[in-house]
Amino acid sequence: MLVHLGYTMTMKLQIIIGSTRPARKGPMVARYVEQIAKNNNKFTEVELLDLVDYNLPLLDEVEMPSTGIYAHEHTKKWSAKISEAQAYIFVTPEYNAGYPASLKNAIDYLYKEWGDKPAGIISYGGRSGGKNSADGLVKVLNKIGMKVVEPQVNIVRFTEIFDQNEMLIDDSYTISIKAVVDKL
């Protein structure tokens, strides 16, 4: 909890799992990030958001997201949830040199809810560690007014840092992820 000018301030961080694929590894990577973030005193609350739980159809709002006028309950629910946080970490895989359509769709549903808030990116993949997906995501987040922090973390061969029980066996990325959390 932060105290500023005698007022208690809460700082909530949301970690967004960007993939909805059935055989995805995003939740495993996100839990790793969550453990690190919860050990940082900057945030009074750290919450994992799984896009699977929101089941957003392809963008179906008539009004532009910048108006903040939402007709559908799924959009209102998503807007309310995202509005709760002051900072975000996007956990994204790389699919064919880009990030998942599910993440792009979830971002595009909203506009003002994201504005002027800091965002970190943790990507994962094979040889590039998701660098291409992270680079594409930076462009979109900057366009909607988010403040993307450096460094980006690109977890190379992420399957080698976890065992078959999803237990961490190599914490070589811990320092880099701590740096992202510290910059938010």
Is residue 116 left, alpha or beta, with left meaning phi > 0 and alpha meaning psi from -120 to 50? Answer: left
* pLDDT per position as a tens digit, 70-123: 999 999 999 999 999 999 999 999 999 999 999 999 999 999 999 999 999 999
Domains of the chain as residue ranges with CATH: 9-183 (3.40.50.360)
Say how far apart CA 94 and CA 127 lie, in whole Å: 11
Q: What is the pTM of this model?
A: 0.93
DSSP, collapsed to helix, strand or coil, labels residue 35 as helix
* pLDDT per position as a tens digit, 142-183: 999 999 999 899 999 877 887 777 777 778 889 999 999 999
